[in-house]
């Protein structure tokens, strides 16, 4: 039996989950992580629920077979909506933490009572999303906006060479502008949307483009830090938290922010994306 410190398995359809991973690394500096990008099957957002569920089960199964995993984070709204219940049923011995659009904090923050929700078509069509919106909505009105092609366009930012970077960046900005405009009036005026939920883990990677497209007239909500706090609580409750440096034996250097990368597609774009968006520095 390996004496290696067990890892937290984190997965997404591609690089989007890095927006969650960086928060996990910051909140849990003593932990090891295995980040699994299912890039060979991305994007998930416009695929069927059955496809996303099947991929999610295959990834979690492989993570558990190939790594000593003590918890799994589904760093993908689409996969959480499609598969978290069946994954928990299939793996009752491992805690599984998911991510979903942060409707509750957004409803609490909104002053106009109008909240835009940007996510994949699959997330917005899911029963889980509909039930969440009904549960936490109250007087708040949610405006769902599917962002077809956006996760894929963000994926291309990492996949292509520097030469193509300007074109890829322009494609992302253009899609973001289109989807923000499709929401209708934004800002603090009566009836306008003053809060936007980024309900796909790819979207926070283009944070400055959201700020530009909205003219900084709305609050942007990303639940990644809340996911990290939830994982910390879950691990602590099981006595499974590795505190900073606890993996080092006396006299050995402390090992921080250990990270293993796996991709079902090309590894180089994932490595480039980690350097750009999730590097511990
Ligand atoms: N990043 C994923 C999410 O949070 C999905 C993106 C995709 O593969 O379409 O929903």
Single residue among 221, 238, 268 that ends a domain in this structure: 221
Given a cut of 70, whether residue 204 has pLDDT beyond it is: yes
Question: How much is the pLDDT for 162?
Answer: 66
Q: Examine residue 2 and state whether it is found in any structural domain, yes or no.
A: no
| Cβ contacts of 212 within 8 Å, gap of 6 or more | 173
pLDDT at 145: 98
Domain-located, residue 1: no
189 is in an annotated binding site: no
Q: Considering only CA atoms, which residue is closest to atom 9 of ligand 1? A: 45
Q: Is the peptide bond before 269 cis (omega within 30 degrees of 0)?
A: no
pLDDT at 195 over 60: yes
In a domain, 264, yes or no: yes
pLDDT average, residue stretch 197-225: 96
Is 211 buried (19+), middle (13-18) or exposed (0-12) by CB count in 10 A? middle
Choose the residue to mutate in 36, 51, 52, 77 for probing ligand 1, maximizing ligand atoms within 8 Å of C-beta: 77
Judge if 71 and 23 occupy the same domain: yes
Domain boundary (221, 242, 264) is at: 221
| Mean pLDDT, residues 146-160 | 92
For residue 265, the enclosing domain spans 7-99+224-277
pLDDT at residue 166 in the model: 74
Asked if 38 and 17 sit in the same domain, the reply is: yes
pTM for this predicted structure: 0.93
Does 250 share its domain with 264? yes
Min mean pLDDT across 57-66, 92-101, 188-197, 236-245 is at: 236-245
81-117: pLDDT as tens digits: 999 999 999 999 999 999 999 999 999 999 999 999 9
Structure tokens at 121: 């078509």
Is 197 among the domain residues?
A: yes
Shared-domain flag, residues 235 and 206: no
CA of 17 relative to ligand 1 center, distance in Å: 8
Q: What is the CATH number of the domain that holds 167?
A: 3.40.50.1860
* Residue 198 covered by a domain: yes
User: Same domain for 228 and 217?
Assistant: no
Q: Out of 195, 221, 247, pick the residue that ends a domain.
A: 221
Q: Residue 175 pLDDT more than 60?
A: yes
Residues tagged active-site: 76, 200
Task: Judge whether residue 138 has pLDDT over 50.
Answer: yes
- According to the per-residue pLDDT averaged within each range, which of 1-10, 140-149, 255-264 is highest? 140-149
115 lies in the same domain as 215: yes
279 is in an annotated binding site: no
Residue 39 annotated as lining a ligand binding site = no
pLDDT band at 167 (very low <50, low <70, confident <90, very high): confident
Number of domains in the chain: 2
- 267 domain residue, yes or no: yes
Measured in Å, residue 38 CA sits from the centre of ligand 1 at 11
Q: Check residue 137 and give its pLDDT.
A: 84
Cβ count within 10 A of residue 108: 12
Question: Do both 88 and 188 map to the same domain?
Answer: no
Say what the pLDDT of residue 160 is.
Answer: 75
Co-location of 113 and 201 in the same domain: yes
Mean pLDDT computed over 176-190: 97
């Amino acid at each position: 039996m390996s004496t290696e410190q067990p890892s937290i398995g984190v997965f997404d359809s591609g690089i989007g989950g890095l927006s969650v991973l960086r928060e996990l690394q910051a909140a849990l500096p003593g932990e090891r992580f295995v980040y699994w990008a299912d890039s060979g099957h991305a994007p998930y957002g416009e695929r069927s629920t059955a496809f996303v569920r099947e991929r999610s089960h295959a990834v979690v199964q492989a993570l558990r077979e190939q790594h000593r995993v003590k918890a799994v984070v589904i760093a993908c709204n689409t996969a959480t909506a499609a598969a978290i219940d069946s994954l928990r049923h299939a793996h009752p011995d491992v805690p599984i933490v998911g991510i979903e659009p942060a409707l509750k904090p957004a409803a609490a923050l909104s002053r106009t009572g109008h909240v835009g929700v940007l996510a994949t078509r699959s997330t917005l069509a899911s029963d889980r999303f509909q039930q969440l919106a009904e549960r936490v909505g109250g007087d708040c009105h949610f405006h769902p906006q599917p962002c077809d092609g956006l996760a894929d366009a963000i994926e291309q930012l990492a996949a292509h060479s520097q030469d193509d970077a300007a074109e890829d960046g322009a494609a992302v900005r253009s899609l973001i502008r289109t989807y923000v405009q499709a929401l209708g009036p934004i800002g603090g005026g009566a009836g306008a949307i003053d809060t936007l939920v980024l309900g796909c883990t790819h979207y926070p990677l283009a944070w400055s483009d959201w700020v530009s497209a909205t003219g900084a007239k709305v609050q942007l909500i990303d639940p990644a830090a809340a996911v990290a706090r939830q994982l910390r609580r879950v691990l602590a409750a099981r006595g499974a938290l590795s505190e900073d440096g606890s993996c080092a034996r006396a006299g050995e250097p402390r090992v921080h922010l250990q990270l293993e990368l796996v991709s079902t597609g090309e590894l180089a774009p994932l490595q480039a994306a980690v350097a750009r968006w999730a590097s511990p520095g």
